[in-house]
Structure 1
Amino acid sequence: MSFQDLGLSDAVVHGVQRMGYVDPSPIQLQAIPVILSGKDLIASAQTGTGKTAAFGLPILSKLDSPQEFPRCLILEPTRELAMQVETAFRDFSRFMHLEIALLFGGVGYGKQKDTLLKGCDVVAATPGRLLDHIEQRTINLSKLEILVLDEVDRMLDMGFLPDVRRIVEKCPKERQTLLFSATVPEEIGRLASWCLRDPEKIEIGARRSPAETVTHALYPVAASQKFDLLIALLKRTEFESVLIFCRTKEGADRIARKLKTENHSVAVLHSNRTQQERIDALEGFKDGRYEVMVATDIAARGIDIAGVSHVINYDVPQHPEDYVHRIGRTGRAQSIGDAFTIMTAEELPHVKDIERFIDQKITRQKLEDFDYVFSAIFNEDSVAAALKGAKGVRTHKGMRFGASRKRR
Structure 2
Amino acid sequence: MNFKELGISEDIINTLKKNGITSPTEIQNKSIREILNGKDIIGEAQTGTGKTLAFLLPIFEKISTSSKDVQCLIITPTRELAIQITEEATKLKEGKDIGVLAMYGGKDVGSQVKKLSGNIHMIIATPGRLLDHIKRKTVDLKKLKTIVIDEADQMLLMGFRNEIDLVMKERPKKVQTLCFSATMDSSVKKLAYRYMNEPAVISVKKEEVTLDKIKQEVVETVDRLKREALCTVLDEDNPFMAIIFCRTKRRADELEVVMHRRGYNCKVIHSDIPQNKRERIIKSFRDADIQYLIATDVASRGLDISGVSHIYNYDIPEKVETYIHRIGRTGRAGEEGYTCLFVDPKDLRLLGEIEKEIKFAIPRRNVE
TM-score normalised to structure 2 length? 0.55
2:67 paired residue number: 67
1:160 paired residue number: 160
Provide the aligned length of Structure 1 versus Structure 2. 209
Quote how far apart the aligned CAs of 1:186 are: 1.5
Alignment of 1:362-373 (within 5 A): none
- Are 1:11 and 2:27 counterparts? no
Q: One-letter code of the match for 2:188?
A: I
2:108 paired residue number: 108
Q: One-letter code of the match for 1:42?
A: I
Quote how far apart the aligned CAs of 1:108 are: 1.9
Quote the Cα distance in structure 2 between the aligned partners of 1:207 and 1:64.
38
Q: One-letter code of the match for 1:16?
A: L
Secondary structure of the residue that 1:67 maps to in structure 2?
Answer: coil
After the TM superposition, list the runs of 4 or more consecutive aligned residues in structure 1 that deviate by more than 3 angstroms: none
Identity across aligned pairs (percent)?
39
Quote the Cα distance in structure 2 between the aligned partners of 1:172 and 1:14.
34
Structure 2, gaps ≥5 residues long: 209-332, 334-368
Quote how far apart the aligned CAs of 1:23 are: 1.1
- Are 1:99 and 2:99 counterparts? yes
Secondary structure of the residue that 1:179 maps to in structure 2?
Answer: strand
Quote the Cα distance in structure 2 between the aligned partners of 1:206 and 1:22.
22
Secondary structure of the residue that 1:118 maps to in structure 2?
Answer: coil
**Contact between 1:46 and 1:206, CA under 8 Å: does it hold in 2?**
no
2:39 paired residue number: 39
Alignment of 1:148-297 (within 5 A): 148-205=148-205
Quote how far apart the aligned CAs of 1:37 are: 0.5
**Contact between 1:66 and 1:97, CA under 8 Å: does it hold in 2?**
no
1:395 paired residue number: none
Quote how far apart the aligned CAs of 1:184 are: 1.5
1:117 paired residue number: 117
Q: One-letter code of the match for 1:155?
A: M
Quote how far apart the aligned CAs of 1:11 are: 2.6
Secondary structure of the residue that 1:119 maps to in structure 2?
Answer: coil
Q: One-letter code of the match for 1:41?
A: I
**Contact between 1:76 and 1:149, CA under 8 Å: does it hold in 2?**
yes
Secondary structure of the residue that 1:8 maps to in structure 2?
Answer: coil
Quote the Cα distance in structure 2 between the aligned partners of 1:35 and 1:25.
15
Secondary structure of the residue that 2:156 maps to in structure 1?
Answer: helix
Quote how far apart the aligned CAs of 1:95 are: 2.7
Quote how far apart the aligned CAs of 1:189 are: 1.4
Quote the Cα distance in structure 1 between the aligned partners of 2:8 and 2:111.
32
Structure 1, gaps ≥5 residues long: 209-352, 354-408
Q: One-letter code of the match for 2:132?
A: D
**Contact between 1:153 and 1:184, CA under 8 Å: does it hold in 2?**
yes
- Superposed CA deviations along residues 58-113 of structure 1, whole A, max 9, x for unmatched, are 11011142521210000010001001111101111213110101100123211111
Quote the Cα distance in structure 1 between the aligned partners of 2:74 and 2:191.
16
Quote the Cα distance in structure 2 between the aligned partners of 1:141 and 1:26.
31
- Superposed CA deviations along residues 233-258 of structure 1, whole A, max 9, x for unmatched, are xxxxxxxxxxxxxxxxxxxxxxxxxx
Quote the Cα distance in structure 1 between the aligned partners of 2:17 and 2:92.
9
- Superposed CA deviations along residues 194-222 of structure 1, whole A, max 9, x for unmatched, are 101000110011699xxxxxxxxxxxxxx
Quote the Cα distance in structure 2 between the aligned partners of 1:107 and 1:18.
30
Quote the Cα distance in structure 2 between the aligned partners of 1:38 and 1:45.
20
Quote the Cα distance in structure 2 between the aligned partners of 1:56 and 1:193.
21
Change (3 A) 1:106 1:198: same
Quote the Cα distance in structure 2 between the aligned partners of 1:50 and 1:193.
23
Quote the Cα distance in structure 2 between the aligned partners of 1:6 and 1:57.
10
2:262 paired residue number: none
Q: One-letter code of the match for 2:151?
A: E
1:135 paired residue number: 135
Secondary structure of the residue that 1:154 maps to in structure 2?
Answer: helix
Quote the Cα distance in structure 1 between the aligned partners of 2:5 and 2:94.
20
**Contact between 1:45 and 1:206, CA under 8 Å: does it hold in 2?**
no
Q: One-letter code of the match for 1:105?
A: G
TM-score normalised to structure 1 length? 0.50
1:29 paired residue number: 29
Quote how far apart the aligned CAs of 1:3 are: 1.0
